[in-house]
Each structure stands twice: as C-alpha cells, then as structure tokens.
Amino acid sequence: MQLGVAAALVDGKRVAGDVTIEDGAVTEVGVSPAGAAGTAVPGFVDAHINGIAGVDFLTADPSDYRAAAGSLAQTGVVAFQPTLVSSPLESYRRPLAVAAVAMAEPGPGLPRVTGVHMEGPFLSREWPGAHDPANVMRPDPRLAERMRGLGPVTMMTLAPELPGGLEVVERLAGAGVIVSCGHSDADAAQANAAFDLGARAITHVHNAHRRWAPRDPGLGGVALVRDDVFVQAIVDGVHLAPETARAAHVAAGPRFCLVTDAIAAAMLDPGRSELGGREVQVVDGAVRLPDGTLAGSVLTMDQAVRNLMSYGASMAEAAHAASTAPARLLGRDDLGVLRPGAPANVTVLDDGGHVTRTVVAGVVSWSQ
C-alpha cells in the first residue's frame, strides 16, 4: 500500500516522496513519484485522556472503548492511555479490568490502549483541581501496590511532597510504573528529590501545582530545566496562554508532550457533562465545575498540534510533541517513529495540520 503523500517526517526531517507500507510495517519512504499532497508523520499518542465522544473511561465497557478509539482515529491518534481520576479504591476494579480487555482485544485497525494512567488519589489537598477532595489521600505504598494489582496501571500522577510520597515514587518507579508529579505543592527541593528517585514527568504543566515564582520555581520550574523530565501540557488556549505554552515548549524542547486531558464531552456539542461523577459544564471551549474550576478539556490532539503550530512551532516540532515525545515517555519504541522497518502507525496531515488519514499497524483506521 502506498499512502499517496507528498512527503514524510522521518526522525524530524522532511523527506520528499511517498511512503510504502507492507505487512503492518513501513517499507520505504521518499518513494518516487510522490503523492499529490499531505505529509506523513508518526501517529499521535495521547498519554492523558479521560474520555471522548460520550465515553468516560471510568464507566466504559469494551464496546465503549472501541467507539472511543474510532473517534480518536479521526484526530490522528494511534495509541492512547486512558486516565482514571481520583475515586474510592473499590471503584477502580471494574474500569481497570475493562481496560485490560481493551488492551488484549483491540478492534482491527483501531488505536491501541497502552495501559492506564491513575491520576490520583495521592494528590495534594492544596491543588485538587477538579478531583473530589473526598477521594484524595496521603500516599500509601501498600495501597499503591494494591492498585497496581487491579489491572494494567502504567502511569500514576501523585504529589511527592506528601508524607510517604517519595517512598511511593521510588517503589512505583522500581516496579516499572511511570510516575508523573502533579496536583502538587512541591517546592524545588522536593521536586528534585522525586525526579532523582525515578519520577519521569510533570502532569499538565502550570496547572494544578505550586505556582512558579522567581525564588520559588516549584515543580514546574524544576521540570522545565531537567533534561530527564517530560513536560506534559494541555495546549487548548484555555489551560495555558499562547505565550505560556510556547515558552514551555521552547524550554522543554524534545521533552514537551502534548496531552488532551479530554473528557467525555470532547467532540460533542457544548453543555452539561460529567467527570469522575462530578457535574461539569462546557462553555466557550472550557470545561468547568460549578465553582469555575477547570475540569479537563474538550481538546483533541489534532487541534493541539494546530494550536502549537499557530504559536510558532513547526509542523515537525508539533508532530514530535504529539507522537514521539509521549511515546518515549511511555517507553514505547513501536510508537512515535516513522522510518523503514518501523510499525506503520502513521498520521497524514495537510499543510494546515488537519488530519486526512490515520493508519494503525498498517491498516487505514480513518480517512477523510
């Protein structure tokens, strides 16, 4: 199969010519004659998404996952890590079991589930964001281990400054779970301690954590300057001003990861919705609790790419932030790469950054 594209981004560089795919892998790039239009880029990876198109991963069943994956394919996503917000421990059992089924039985050609991101419950009461304060708690190593045993937990967001936080960071990282620091009041010393013990990322930079100040840079300031930390950001024009998003991107460079933090209301008309059992309202592109607190987003990954491009990033930089950076954060060498021999997980963009085709494991998942 030839994609019919004019060029491809290979290791961040534009290579003119078409792309050939056989048996689920990319076999050639720069094929002559080139296709009529479009640029093939590594398929997008969303490492933080609560739901989409009416599906909430906290209450979803396997058929809901397939429906969500179909919607995500329209936005260029080839793989995603569903997020579960802070909830009572017993309520995690079912959604983690459902996620395990979705991982084991992906629909043909549909975006893949990479594992589950537990956003909480070990979060700071100073920075709960939209998480129900009744469900957040102090870090507990034994409870973290129990949660890990309930299903395919691949990432956990926590506040490392809380009593027991650093012990949980060390244990989870040692067990291969990706630790992201967020919803946190950590100062610079506490943030550095967590990253030294194996935490690998910050969750939605400049949102729901200690604010940066000249003599108190906090978690965000540390994450932006450490070469071993991935910086996740919600670039929807609501969570971050354009200048703030661009500054974080420039500072983090190849470590900058676009995430959507989307909720079930994404891709639907504005109005009422829910997140973690809490009522939210979507107005003017923002999701908020009744008290005005931001509560996730209705962002899609293709829109995040276009937003970042409009703030000054090149297509190659924006595509890297939507694909390669999150794939490296998740430790997935089969994602975020487009070159001969690599799995054919590919998104095709027009010159404006709009998705025209999504290919998952060599199968066209969606086409305009």
Q: What would the pLDDT profile of 188-241 be if each residue is shown by its tens digit?
A: 999 999 999 999 999 999 999 999 999 999 999 999 999 999 999 999 999 999
What is the spatial distance between Cα 354 and Cα 301, in angstroms, rounded to a whole number?
10
pLDDT at 276: 87
Domain ranges of the chain: 42-332
Residue 187 annotated as catalytic: no
Q: Could you tell me the two tokens for 84?
A: 């579960």
DSSP string of 329-355?
HTT-TTSS--STTSB--EEEE-TTS-E
pLDDT at 269: 95
**Which residues of the chain carry a pLDDT beneath 50?**
none
What percent of the chain clears pLDDT 70, i.e. is strictly above it? Answer: 100
pLDDT at 107: 83
Choose, from 261, 269, 334, 350, the residue flagged as catalytic: 261
Q: What would the pLDDT profile of 102-129 be if each residue is shown by its tens digit?
A: 999 988 899 999 999 999 999 999 999 9
pLDDT at 129: 95
pLDDT at 64: 97
- Domain 42-332 falls under CATH 3.20.20.140: yes
pLDDT at 87: 95
Question: Of 276, 267, 332, 263, which Cα lies nearest the Cα of 49?
Answer: 263
pTM: 0.97
